[in-house]
Amino acid sequence: MAKGYWVSAYRTIADPERLAAYNELAGPAVRAAGGRTLARASRVVAHDAGIAERTVLVEFDSFDQAVAAHASAAYQEALAALGDGVERDFRIIEGLD
């Protein structure tokens, strides 16, 4: 079964306090759903149309698990804390078998 991944590239961070509140809630929510944060980097070298801003990569055992984690009550609480504190490109993708 192919793994699932959350890929999040932050375009702007307008409110670092909201991001900090999100991080406090999101970390435990992701771990409880079986996710493993592989990278959380502020050091980014961007190419083409990329933006050199914070990028996060989270791995799940399956694509379905990644989708369910995003829909979980715990992660939705984290998103509510984040609100409009950032602008980001968030994707859930399926890995290769």
CB contact at 8 A, 91 and 57: no
pTM: 0.91
Q: What total number of domains does the chain contain?
A: 1
Residues 40-91 pLDDT 10s: 887 888 899 888 888 999 999 999 999 999 999 999 999 999 999 999 999 9
Task: Tell me how far apart the alpha carbons of residues 28 and 57 are, in angstroms, rounded to a whole number.
Answer: 15
Residue ranges making up the domain that contains 13: 4-94
CB contact at 8 A, 17 and 87: no
CATH code, domain carrying 55? 3.30.70.100
Question: How many residues can be counted in the chain?
Answer: 97
CB contact at 8 A, 13 and 53: yes
